[in-house]
């Protein structure tokens, strides 16, 4: 302890390490508690309301632990003072700091060498907090002796190797541990072993999808190259059913991707109690009434949005045109840059947002434009107006646009199962491995969808036959110029799936079939009602 004599009174100071979450990372916070003669309690260091209210929780929790709240003049400082402190995770370090400064307890270890986080209930129980994983990463980086967390958060924090993680159930357990009265066995999780042993289990499979072979092939191409995909078709055609099965054919998470994904969900408080490392790619499906802040993140207390929760996974937007124009337009920047920068008057935060966009929509308000058996009831110009809800710049960022039609009865009633997700996934993984080797020297590029103009000129070169085919197709279907680059990228992915070094006319032809909305005939006319 530090002893400072001021006006003949003994001032005792204690320090405890803690952390605050900023974005998806943690920043160190030193909790300083000073105790002197008198009777008062004050807290400084830019605490929010939840932190200020910790006094009542701490006082009652101490009484339940059999320790009297010190009858002294106590000042608690949360350093650095210019960083806003939010949430109840500072309850535990503040309580320990106050007890040590007032000499209510005599620790046998230095509290400055331990990082502590945890919310205190009135009975002294430690409640879980969010953001424990980035805090554990920070504690290891700082070289601390250990991290003390609520027992519910212990396995989450123990994902970080080479760090002693102590899970405590109550304030009394922490006091006894620091004073050497009772030992707490560190929680150990062998991250690499757990990750290698993890077998991603899915409760759905592409073999359950009857028919729709061309759409399943489009999903295979999309997953192989990391391409965004839009399905357009009538209700009941199976759009949502197939979208939910996309994670089953995506390449497995790497260990680095799993750690990053787990960290985002930890900050957002989305990990269930006792969770370890996330081994399956996330699948997020927000409702079309979502706000732009909920989608991209931010708020008064900054939190990751749906696009960040879908990082390294799938963001499924059903009923695509029903989302408000403002919500859809905020997708443009993260789709291009694969991260989102949120700047407000009081903070500026970057969240990762490298996701695969899967969207679905009806072709018109009634849903039956171009339906083989049902007649569209929409008036003239309504179809085009409905499609115009999706702006050209946003549509430009969706590589694959495929029309989906209802499945015939004989295919629905067939007992023959389709190709399994495992079989499709093997081809996808093989194609991704080709791309990994190809872009090994290109930082930030991992798949064909991320190619820029320079890389396309190097790896997506078309010969004379391919150029002739593409030119004729674009003239015949009156395709827009913006789809040219998309066709090249998708053609490169199709060639990778076939194991071909060069792009052939067959690959370009298939890529052209995935640009339905670029054709001038789409929405130009509507079917007439029979009278």
Burial of 177 (0-12, 13-18, 19+ CB in 10 A): buried
Q: Residue 118, CB half-sphere, CA atoms under 13 Å: how many?
A: 32
Query: For residue 380, what pLDDT band results from cuts at 50, 70 and 90?
Result: confident
Query: For residue 80, what pLDDT band results from cuts at 50, 70 and 90?
Result: very high
Hey, is 54 helix, strand or coil?
Answer: helix
Q: How many CB atoms lie within 10 A of CB 256?
A: 9
Query: For residue 530, what pLDDT band results from cuts at 50, 70 and 90?
Result: very low
Lowest mean pLDDT among 190-194, 241-245, 502-506, 507-511: 190-194
Distance (Å, whole) CA 60 – CA 213: 64
Considering just the CA atoms, what is the radius of gyration of the chain in Å?
29
As beta bridge partners, residue 170 has: 125
What residues have CB less than 8 Å from 448, skipping those under 6 apart?
Answer: 225, 226, 227, 435, 460, 489, 490, 492, 493, 496
Q: What is the pLDDT of residue 302?
A: 86
Q: What is the pLDDT of residue 485?
A: 87
Hey, is 371 helix, strand or coil?
Answer: coil
Q: What is the pLDDT of residue 37?
A: 85
Distance (Å, whole) CA 370 – CA 374: 8
Q: What is the mean pLDDT of residues 513-525?
A: 66
* SS3 readout for 225-252: HCCCEEEECCCCCCHHHHHCCHHHCCCC
Distance (Å, whole) CA 163 – CA 139: 8
Examine the pLDDT at 5 and tell me if it is beyond 50.
Answer: no
Q: Are 23 and 350 in contact (CB under 8 A)?
A: yes
Token pair in block for residue 9: 């009174």
pTM assigned to the model: 0.88
Q: Are 246 and 220 in contact (CB under 8 A)?
A: no
Examine the pLDDT at 9 and tell me if it is beyond 60.
Answer: no
What residues have CB less than 8 Å from 244, skipping those under 6 apart?
Answer: 204, 283, 285, 316
CA 357 to chain CA mean position, Å: 13
Examine the pLDDT at 476 and tell me if it is beyond 90.
Answer: no
Distance (Å, whole) CA 178 – CA 84: 28
Q: What is the pLDDT of residue 519?
A: 62
Examine the pLDDT at 261 and tell me if it is beyond 90.
Answer: yes
Q: What is the mean pLDDT of residues 300-310?
A: 91
Examine the pLDDT at 134 and tell me if it is beyond 90.
Answer: yes
Q: What is the pLDDT of residue 448?
A: 93
Examine the pLDDT at 335 and tell me if it is beyond 70.
Answer: yes
Query: For residue 200, what pLDDT band results from cuts at 50, 70 and 90?
Result: low
Q: Are 232 and 402 in contact (CB under 8 A)?
A: yes
Q: What is the pLDDT of residue 3?
A: 40
Lowest mean pLDDT among 83-92, 162-171, 192-201, 519-528: 519-528
Percent of the chain, pLDDT > 70? 92
Query: For residue 256, what pLDDT band results from cuts at 50, 70 and 90?
Result: confident
Mean pLDDT of the chain: 88
Distance (Å, whole) CA 488 – CA 503: 9
CA distances, 133 to each of 12, 108, 113, 147, 259 (Å): 33, 27, 18, 11, 9
Element (H or E) spanning 400, and its range?
Answer: strand 400-403
Q: How many CB atoms lie within 10 A of CB 107?
A: 18
Lowest mean pLDDT among 76-90, 104-118, 164-178, 192-206: 192-206
Scored b (16 or more CB within 10 A) or e, 8-33 reads eeebbbbbbbbbbbbbbbbebbbbbb
Burial of 82 (0-12, 13-18, 19+ CB in 10 A): exposed
Distance (Å, whole) CA 33 – CA 97: 5
Distance (Å, whole) CA 126 – CA 153: 10
What residues have CB less than 8 Å from 472, skipping those under 6 apart?
Answer: none
What residues have CB less than 8 Å from 474, skipping those under 6 apart?
Answer: 483, 484
Distance (Å, whole) CA 223 – CA 431: 9
What residues have CB less than 8 Å from 245, skipping those under 6 apart?
Answer: 202, 204, 205, 206, 208, 209, 421
């Amino acid at each position: 302890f530090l002893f400072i004599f001021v006006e003949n009174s003994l001032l005792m100071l204690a320090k405890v390490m803690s952390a605050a979450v900023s974005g998806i990372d943690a920043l160190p916070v030193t909790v300083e508690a000073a105790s002197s003669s008198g009777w008062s309690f004050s807290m400084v260091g830019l605490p929010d309301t939840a932190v200020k209210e910790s006094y009542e929780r701490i006082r009652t929790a101490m009484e339940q632990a059999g320790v009297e709240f010190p009858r002294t003049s106590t000042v608690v400082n949360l350093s650095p003072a210019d960083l806003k402190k939010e949430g109840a995770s500072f309850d535990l370090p503040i309580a320990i700091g106050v007890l040590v400064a007032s000499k209510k307890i005599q620790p046998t270890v230095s509290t400055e060498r331990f990082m502590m986080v945890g919310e205190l209930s009135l009975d002294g129980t430690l409640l879980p907090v969010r953001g424990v994983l980035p805090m554990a990463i920070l504690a290891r980086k700082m070289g601390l002796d250990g991290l003390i967390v609520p027992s519910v958060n212990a396995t989450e924090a123990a994902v970080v190797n080479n760090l002693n993680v102590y899970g405590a159930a109550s304030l009394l357990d922490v006091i006894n541990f620091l004073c050497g009265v009772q030992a707490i066995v560190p929680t150990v999780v062998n991250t690499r072993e757990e990750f290698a042993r993890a077998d991603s289990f899915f409760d759905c499979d592409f073999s359950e999808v009857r028919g729709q072979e061309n759409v399943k092939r489009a999903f295979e191409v999309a997953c192989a190259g990391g391409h965004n995909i839009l399905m357009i078709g009538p209700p009941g055609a199976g759009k949502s059913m197939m979208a939910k099965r996309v994670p089953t054919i995506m390449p497995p998470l790497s260990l680095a991707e799993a750690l990053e994904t787990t960290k985002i969900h930890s900050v957002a408080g989305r990990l269930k109690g006792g969770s370890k490392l996330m081994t399956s790619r996330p699948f997020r499906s927000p409702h079309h009434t979502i706000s732009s802040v909920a989608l991209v993140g931010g708020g008064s207390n900054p939190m990751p949005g749906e696009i960040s929760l879908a990082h390294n996974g799938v963001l499924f937007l059903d009923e695509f045109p029903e989302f408000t124009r403002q919500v859809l337009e905020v997708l443009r920047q993260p789709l291009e840059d694969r991260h989102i920068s949120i700047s407000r008057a009081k903070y500026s935060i970057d969240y990762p947002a490298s996701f695969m966009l899967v969207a679905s929509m009806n072709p018109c308000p009634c849903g039956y434009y171009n339906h083989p058996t049902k007649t569209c009831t929409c008036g003239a110009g309504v179809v085009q107006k409905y499609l115009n809800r999706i702006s050209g710049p946003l549509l430009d960022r969706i590589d694959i646009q495929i029309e989906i039609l209802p499945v015939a009865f004989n295919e629905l009633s067939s007992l023959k199962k389709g190709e399994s997700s495992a079989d499709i996934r093997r081809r996808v993984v093989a194609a991704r491995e080709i791309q990994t080797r190809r872009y090994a020297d290109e930082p930030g590029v991992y798949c064909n969808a991320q190619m820029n103009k320079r890389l396309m000129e190097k790896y997506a070169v078309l010969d004379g036959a391919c150029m002739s085919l593409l030119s004729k197709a674009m003239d015949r279907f009156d395709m827009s110029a913006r789809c040219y680059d998309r066709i090249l990228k998708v053609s490169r992915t199709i060639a990778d799936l076939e194991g071909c070094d060069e792009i052939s006319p067959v690959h370009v032809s298939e890529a052209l079939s995935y640009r339905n909305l670029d054709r001038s005939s789409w929405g130009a006319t509507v079917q007439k009602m029979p009278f």
